[in-house]
């Protein structure tokens, strides 16, 4: 005899109960829960599903970069190799300063000669740089004083006496043989021996001739005695001072 399945028996009892209007037996119900769709039935060992991940928080507002920070970021950086170069600059400056010529003292004959030439009328006639002015000859170039007056002592006497005084002393030509035409004023009445010596030195410096004690001493005493006897001692004293401490 074939055994009737339990669920068929339960269904038959339920149907009879409905037909008879009730009974002591309650219809059997299935404890099985059909899965929804293709999902597998949940078991007691499975953990409950995790809640959905909350939506990502909105990004915080970006603060503007201060202008001084922007300027610092945009500023060109000093190359690494330049750091030691900058560090050594003070030492190079000191070395360079040591190679320079010392400044000319204010009371130097060179300074005095510059001032006399610029302020006592020489520059107005012969030009600030000795280049001449109209019919007045230049003190440099073809008519340079170092060519016209190879001996400094004769140049000093010429400046002191001027063209008229030079002629009165019996001279008709300059030292290089150029005829004396006139026009050169004598400066012994307005300049002292030290100033005349200094401006003579200045004019020779315009031609690149530095002071040479031996060249200046040549015939200096005899020339002063011949052309400027009243002041010869003063001129010789100035030359002695220059020889002991050469103008620089």
> Encoding tokens for residue 155?
């140049």
SS3 173: strand
pLDDT category of residue 37 using cuts at 50, 70 and 90: very low
| CATH for 109-244 (1.10.490, 2.40.10, 1.10.760, 2.60.40) | 1.10.760
pLDDT of residue 27: 47
- Max mean pLDDT range (41-55, 97-111, 126-140): 126-140
Domain spans of the chain?
109-244
Residues linked to residue 136 through DSSP beta bridges, in sequence order: 133
126 vs 49: which has the higher pLDDT: 126
- Spatial separation of the C-alpha atoms in residues 211 and 110, rounded to whole Å: 10
Question: Quick check: 28 and 13 in contact, CB under 8 A?
Answer: yes
Residue that the structure tokens 């945009």 belong to: 74
pLDDT of residue 3: 66
Over the Cα atoms of the chain, what is R_g? 60
The mean pLDDT of the chain is: 83
> Encoding tokens for residue 75?
């500023």
Question: Quick check: 193 and 238 in contact, CB under 8 A?
Answer: yes
Q: Dump pLDDT digits (tens) for 89-112.
A: 887 788 777 776 665 555 799 999
Tell me, yes or no, if the pTM score tops 0.85.
no
List C-alpha distances in Å: 16 to 10, 79, 194: 10, 104, 159
Burial class (CB in 10 A: 0-12, 13-18, 19+), 96: exposed
Residue that the structure tokens 């008519």 belong to: 143
Question: Quick check: 147 and 139 in contact, CB under 8 A?
Answer: no
Q: Is the pLDDT of residue 28 over 60?
A: no
Which segment of 20-34, 99-113, 211-225, 234-248 scores lowest on mean pLDDT? 20-34
pLDDT of residue 106: 59
74 vs 40: which has the higher pLDDT: 74
- Spatial separation of the C-alpha atoms in residues 104 and 60, rounded to whole Å: 73
Q: What is the mean pLDDT of residues 64-68?
A: 80
Q: Which segments of the chain does DSSP mark as H helices, in order?
A: 6-20, 67-74, 82-99, 109-119, 122-126, 145-148, 152-168, 193-205, 213-217, 220-227, 232-244
């Amino acid at each position: 005899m074939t055994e009737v399945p339990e669920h068929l028996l339960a269904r038959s009892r339920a149907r009879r109960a409905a037909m008879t209007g009730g009974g002591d037996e309650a219809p059997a119900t299935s404890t099985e829960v059909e899965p929804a769709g293709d999902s597998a039935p949940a078991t007691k060992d499975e953990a409950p599903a995790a809640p959905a991940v909350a939506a990502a928080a909105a990004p915080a507002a970006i603060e503007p970069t201060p202008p001084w920070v922007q300027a610092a970021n945009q500023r060109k950086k000093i190359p690494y190799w330049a750091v030691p170069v900058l560090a050594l600059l003070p030492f190079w400056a000191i070395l360079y300063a040591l190679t320079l010529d010392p400044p000319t003292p204010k009371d130097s004959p060179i300074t005095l000669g510059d001032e006399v030439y610029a302020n006592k009328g020489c520059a107005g006639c012969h030009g600030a740089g000795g280049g001449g002015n109209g019919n007045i000859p230049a003190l440099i170039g073809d008519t340079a004083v170092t060519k016209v007056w190879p001996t400094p002592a004769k140049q000093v006497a010429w400046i002191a006496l001027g063209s008229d005084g030079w002629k009165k002393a019996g001279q008709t030509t300059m030292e290089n043989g150029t005829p004396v035409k006139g026009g050169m004023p004598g400066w012994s009445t307005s300049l002292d021996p030290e100033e005349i010596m200094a401006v003579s030195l200045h004019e020779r410096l315009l031609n690149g001739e530095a002071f040479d004690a031996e060249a200046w001493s040549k015939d200096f005493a005899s020339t002063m005695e011949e052309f400027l006897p009243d002041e010869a001692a003063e001129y010789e004293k100035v030359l002695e001072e220059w020889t002991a401490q050469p103008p620089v």
